[in-house]
Structure 1
Amino acid sequence: MSTARTTSPSRTKKTAPLPDVNFSDYGDVRFLHLGSEWVQGSMRMDAPFDIDLEYVQRMMAWLLFVAPDSVASRHAMQLGLGAAALTKFCRKRLRMKTTAIELNPQVIAACRLWFKLPPDDARLQVVLGDAAEVARSPHWQGQVDALQVDLYDHEAAAPVLDSEDFYADCRALLTEEGCMTVNLFGRSSSYERSLEKIATAFGEDALWAFKPTREGNTVVLAQRQASRPKRAELLERAQAIETRWKLPASKWLRVFKPVLR
């Protein structure tokens, strides 16, 4: 295993410094770390634009709720860049307009140096900024079709942003057909409390959830406008997703259900 590291500057707003950014290689897989052993993302070096981690693949479940032919005309936004797996996939494989928001400038630098993140262009914009401020801003309200939220600090203990107000701001970013997918994972976080906050913002009938992965990641999907597609429609969409983009969408349907409270 080989490692590399770059040191980030201290934060100017809030007193806590941003963590160091480093990576480790194990075989053909490269892992991103924020100054600790916790994995913040990964990339298979022989397939840098594919999605390696199972839970990150599940963050693409919003594809089940839109027509496949409409995907390239839509806008994806990531709150938290990680190892840029979602950003690269949306921009390269789905050919979507893609915006990523990242607080730590060294994460952006690391993704461009070590994780094959392309430079900004007509379809890609990586923004150095605070996800909470972006979500509150009117600039992107009503413009995002797929909002992917994966915000953890170097300890990976709980979501950095996990309030009713934050999730309400996320809902305001979405188009009428838009969906938010959020990764809920952490040693001190409570899935039920987080789910309650999302339900307050989106409505209980708008929520879907996967069973946890073996690593403990639970991906929740919230729709801007609740719908309950028939099983046959979801199966048809899943097959199209597998054919076009090689994501295991049929497998998703065995572990992905509406949240019934």
Structure 2
Amino acid sequence: MINRTGKTIHREFWENRLVEIFDEGDTRSLYFGGRYLQSRMSLSSPHLLSLLYTHYMMFALLFRQELRNILLVGLGAGSLVRFLHHHFPMCSIDAVDHSPHIINLARGYFQLPESSNIHIHCCDGFRFLANTKISKAYDLILIDAFDEQGMSAQIYSEDFFSMCANVLHPSGTLTCNMWSGNTQYLSEISSILNTCFTGRVVLPVPKRGNVINHLRKQSVDWSDIHRSRQELLTLLEKFNMNFPQMVNVAEKHNLNLGQRMMQLFSNFSLH
């Protein structure tokens, strides 16, 4: 159990799991099992993304900022739904979570938006894709299906990612949050992703165990990522996320030394 100085506003056990919600100043946090932080929200600005790994998931905005349809598997406390609905209110969002308890917590304590453009589905993400007749293509698919035990084995599987590829827009992005202490397991999932998708950008989150994967049906066009510094700063101001830092991380972990040097010289030539 982690010692906290905030106020406990909710505490219960369900499915042999301790669930707690704490308020400390302007921050509200959801914990599982007494020590696993699941989500965090600013009470005064609930649309802001408070956890760094969620910023790295929204790196996908560099590929496509015109969003019409979004699929989110793993609702949590609704951070990504709040962010996306705030910035893209006309976008249709399908948010899927297997737990009615989680959905109720997101609605009751974490200001989950109510809108005709937000569709909450209480079911398993695998079954949602397998059993739902989907007539639209998703511009962005976000996979964040975790609990204190780690990644959902059924979600992080070849069958599931193949179904995701089938409903992803040709120029869309699938963003997948990965974390595990088992390097062999992570390697197996990486191989699956390479089988199902052509383009891939890997973003390890600094000082965290999360590795965010951005997958494309087509090869990654790095001109989408190599924006001018002014463009990246404009995005930083608009979305309150450090896009210049994320681009540096993307270059470091996805380009070889020669490619990085070419990009550096290209940047100099633009000034």
Distance across 2 between alignment mates of 1:159 and 1:188: 14
Q: Give the match for residue 43 of structure 2.
A: 45
Distance across 1 between alignment mates of 2:12 and 2:135: 34
1:144-197 residue CA offsets vs partner (Å, 9 max, x unmatched): 111110111233x33442211111111112111110111111234643222111
Distance 1:194 1:108, change over 3 A: same
Of structures 1 and 2, the one scoring higher in RCO (CA 8 A, sep 6+) is 1
Distance across 2 between alignment mates of 1:234 and 1:31: 34
Segment of structure 1 superposing worse, 88-97 or 21-30? 21-30
Segment of structure 1 superposing worse, 245-254 or 177-186? 245-254
Distance across 1 between alignment mates of 2:200 and 2:16: 33
1:208-250 residue CA offsets vs partner (Å, 9 max, x unmatched): 0112331211111001222323277534763442243222212
Q: CA contact under 8 A between 2:52 and 2:205: conserved in structure 1?
A: no
| TM-score using structure 2 length | 0.81
Given residue 200 of structure 2, which amino acid in structure 1 is its aligned partner? L
Distance 1:136 1:130, change over 3 A: same
What's the offset of the Cα at 1:142? 4.9
Long gaps (5+) in structure 2: 1-5, 257-271
**3-state SS, counterpart of residue 166 of structure 2:** helix
* Aligned with 1:101 (options 92, 96, 99): 96
Distance 1:100 1:255, change over 3 A: same
Q: CA contact under 8 A between 2:63 and 2:224: conserved in structure 1?
A: no
Structure 1 segment 127-146 matched on structure 2, within 5 A: 127-137=121-131, 139-140=133-134, 142-146=136-140
Distance 1:232 1:146, change over 3 A: closer
Identical-residue share of aligned pairs (%): 22
Distance 1:125 1:111, change over 3 A: same
Q: Give the match for residue 32 of structure 1.
A: 30
Distance 1:141 1:79, change over 3 A: farther
Q: Give the match for residue 152 of structure 1.
A: 146
Distance 1:48 1:197, change over 3 A: same
Q: Computing the radius of gyration over CA atoms, which structure comes out larger, 1 or 2?
A: 2
Distance across 1 between alignment mates of 2:214 and 2:86: 23
1:77-116 residue CA offsets vs partner (Å, 9 max, x unmatched): 2100012110111112222221110111011110111111
Structure 1 segment 57-68 matched on structure 2, within 5 A: 57-66=55-64, 68=65
Structure 1 segment 1-261 matched on structure 2, within 5 A: 1-3=6-8, 4-8=10-14, 17=15, 19-66=17-64, 68=65, 70-71=66-67, 74-95=68-89, 96-119=91-114, 121-137=115-131, 139-140=133-134, 142-155=136-149, 157-160=150-153, 161-188=155-182, 190-203=185-198, 206-230=199-223, 233-235=226-228, 238-257=232-251, 259=254
Segment of structure 1 superposing worse, 165-174 or 229-238? 229-238
Distance 1:232 1:97, change over 3 A: closer
| TM-score using structure 1 length | 0.84
**3-state SS, counterpart of residue 129 of structure 2:** helix
Q: Give the match for residue 11 of structure 1.
A: none
Number of residue pairs matched by the alignment: 245
**3-state SS, counterpart of residue 141 of structure 2:** strand
What's the offset of the Cα at 1:61? 1.4
Distance across 2 between alignment mates of 1:64 and 1:19: 37
